[in-house]
Structure 1
Amino acid sequence: MILSLVGVGIVGAGLIGIVRQAAKDTTHPPVVPTRYTPKPTTESTGQPTEEPTSTATESPTSEPKVNDATVVSKNAIYKVGQMRTANCREPKVRPTNARNAAAYWAAIKPCLDRSWGPLVTKAGYKFQPPSMSYWSGSSTTTPCGSGVVNVPFYCSSNNNLYMKVDVFVKSYTQYSDAESKAYARMWYTRSVAHEYGHSVQNMTGILQASDNLRYELSDYNDRQRQTRRMELQANCFAGVFLAMNKKSYPISGELLYVWNKWVVTAGDKPEDGDHGSVASQQRFMGQSFKTGNPASCNTFAVSPRYVS
C-alpha cells in the first residue's frame, strides 16, 4: 500500500479477526499529487510519450497528454504478456528476529527486480527499481508523511519499500505450529510483492493517474472504490510474480495450503474498506496466480461490482 498498508495475521482461531482489524487500522496518507506520467523510453511501442506537465506554454510540436483514465485502463503493461520466471527460491533464513526478517525480504527483492524489469521495459517505460529499507516501532516518518503505521508500505515520493520487520517477526514466532509459520512466510512474501506492485504502478504512471482520478471524485464511496482498484491491482501484480516463481520457490505443500486457505481468502467486507473483498481478491490476485500475466490485473476497466 501507499503509506497504506497490508495487515498482519496468524493462523488459528484469531486469524480472520486480526486480518480484518489490521485492515481497519490502516491509514491512507495522501500520495504527493502529480500529473506526471513517466515518459516511455522508446518510440517503437506506439505507447504514449507524454512529458511532465508544465505551467509554461507548450510548443506546437509537443505531444498531447494522455488523460488519466486512459493511463490506468489502457496501460501498455497489460499488453506485455506473461512474466518470465526468475527462478526465485524462498530464502533459507527464517524471520526469528529483526535482522533475519530484513534478510528474508532482502533476498526476495532482486527476484522482483529481475521479474518486473523486462515487463516494464517492454511496456515502453523506464525501469527504476525501488529501494527498500527496514524499520520497526509504532510510527515512522517518510517523504509521504508521518504517524502511526502498523505494517509495510510503499512511498512514491522516494520510490521506497518500507518493510516493517517487527510485524513479520511477531507473526512468525507467536505460534509454534507449522501452519502458522508457513502462513507468516507466505503472507509476508506476498506483502513485499504487493508493495513492489505499487512501484510498478508508479513506473508506469498508473499510481499517479489513479491518485489524480481519486482527488477529482467528490463522493466518498467513489473515492474508496478508486483506492480499491489501486490496491487490488497491487495484490494482483503480486500474484503475477508468485505465479511465475511458484515452482522454484516452491509454493507447494504447506505454503500452497496456507495461500489457498488464508491469503487469497483475506479481505474486507464488500464495499467496506479500501483493499477489496474476498471475492475481489480472488477475482484478481487469485486469477493472476494462475496466469502470471499483468493482463489479469486491469482493475480499472471493470464494473464497480467487481471491485467491491
Structure 2
Amino acid sequence: MLWNKGRRSDNVEDAGQGGGGPSFGGRGLGIGGIVILAILGLVFFKDPTALLGQGDPGAATPTQTQQAPRQAASDDPQVDFVRAILGETEDTWREIFAANGQTYERPKLVLFRDGVRTACGSASSAVGPFYCPGDHRVYLDLGFFQTMQDRFHETGDFARAYVIAHEVGHHVQNLVGVFDKVNDARRRGASLEGASGLSVRQELQADCFAGVWANRSQQRQQWLQAGDIESALKAATAIGDDTLQEQSQGRVVPDSFTHGTSAQRVHWFRTGFDSGDIGKCNTFTGSI
C-alpha cells in the first residue's frame, strides 16, 4: 500500500500513558460502545465488562478531568501512517456527506499506551482499537498492530488501515443516527447478541463502510498494490466470531455472536469495496 500518498490529518492526538479526556466512570456507555467492547473482549478472550468500566446506562456525569491530549508527534512512522489513513477517511466521508447535503464532523483519533480514560469509561490497551460514541473519538494503542502480527499473522499496511477505517465507520454510524436507532430497538426488546442480532448487524455495516472508504480512497489515490485487498480480507477472516470461538473454545456458539462470521465480514467489506456505495451497506434489513 502506497500510504505515503495520503493527506495527513491534524486530528491525531497522543494521550500518553494512562491519559485521556474526561472520565465518566463507565456511565453513559452507548450501545455502540458495548458492542465494540464485547467484540474486543471476544478477540482477546476476556469478559468485556472487565475491560471497560460499565455502569448505569443513564446520563453521564463527568467525575474527573485529565489533561487534554496533545497533537501526536509527526516524526514517528507509525503515527505518520495513522495520520495518513485518518486523513483519507476524512476526505472520503466529507465527499460522501457533501453529496447528500450534509457536513461531515471529523473525529479525533487518540493514541494511548497501557490505558486511557474516555467518555465511555476507562479502558486498558487489552481492548484494542475502539470507538467511543460519547466523545466521538477513535482510540488506538499502536501496540495492537504488533498484536495483529503476533496473533493473526497479519502484517500488511492495508490490514492496519482496514482496522482504522472500521472504527471510523462506527463514527459515521453515530453521525447518521444508527447508534440511536439500535439503542431504541434494543429497548423495545430486539436481541443484541446472536447471529442476526443488533451487534452483528452494526459491526457488519462498519465493515461495509470500511469497504466503501477503500473504494473511494483508491479512486482518489491509486495507492493499493497487489495483495492489499487480500490482506484486509485475511484480517476480517481472522476476527470473525466463528473463527475466534473455534480457536478459543473449540466450538462455535452462534447465539453469542457479536461481530459476524468470517464469511460475513469478508462479504460486507467486499460489498462496500466493490460498490463504493453506502446505500449497499444496509445490514439491518433481511438476512445477512
Give the alignment's TM-score, normalised by structure 2: 0.65
Amino acid at match of 1:259: A
Amino acid at match of 2:33: I
User: 2:191, 2:38 → 1: CA distance?
Assistant: 25
Give CA-to-partner distance per residue, 1:276-297, whole Å, 9 cap, x none. Answer: 1123213321211111111121
Structure 1 residue 205 corresponds to structure 2 residue 181? no
Once the two structures are aligned, what percentage of the paired residues are identical? Answer: 22
CA apart distance, 1:129: 1.0
CA contact 1:130–1:160 (8 Å) conserved in 2: yes
Give CA-to-partner distance per residue, 1:229-270, whole Å, 9 cap, x none. Answer: 111111110011012223635323232332344435641124
- Give the 5 Å matches for 1:1-308: 2=33, 4=36, 22=43, 24-25=45-46, 27=48, 99-137=76-114, 139-148=115-124, 149-171=126-148, 180-182=154-156, 185-217=157-189, 219=191, 221=193, 225-246=197-218, 248=221, 250-264=223-237, 266-269=239-242, 270-303=254-287, 306=288
CA apart distance, 1:216: 2.9
Aligned residue for 1:253, secondary structure, equals: coil
The CA RMSD over aligned residues, in Å, is: 3.4
Cα 1:264/1:105, change in 2 over 3 Å: same
Match of 1:52?
none
CA apart distance, 1:152: 0.7
CA apart distance, 1:6: 9.9
Question: Highest relative contact order (Cα 8 Å, sep 6+), 1 or 2?
Answer: 1
Q: Which ranges in structure 2 are unaligned for 5 or more consecutive residues?
A: 1-31, 60-74, 243-253
CA contact 1:161–1:196 (8 Å) conserved in 2: yes
Give the alignment's TM-score, normalised by structure 1: 0.62
Aligned residue for 2:127, secondary structure, equals: coil
CA contact 1:233–1:297 (8 Å) conserved in 2: yes
Aligned length: 223
CA contact 1:33–1:208 (8 Å) conserved in 2: no
Cα 1:32/1:193, change in 2 over 3 Å: farther
Amino acid at match of 2:104: F
User: 1:297, 1:208 → 2: CA distance?
Assistant: 17
Q: Which ranges in structure 1 are unaligned for 5 or more consecutive residues?
A: 9-19, 35-97
Q: Based on CA coordinates, which of the two structures has the bigger radius of gyration?
A: 1
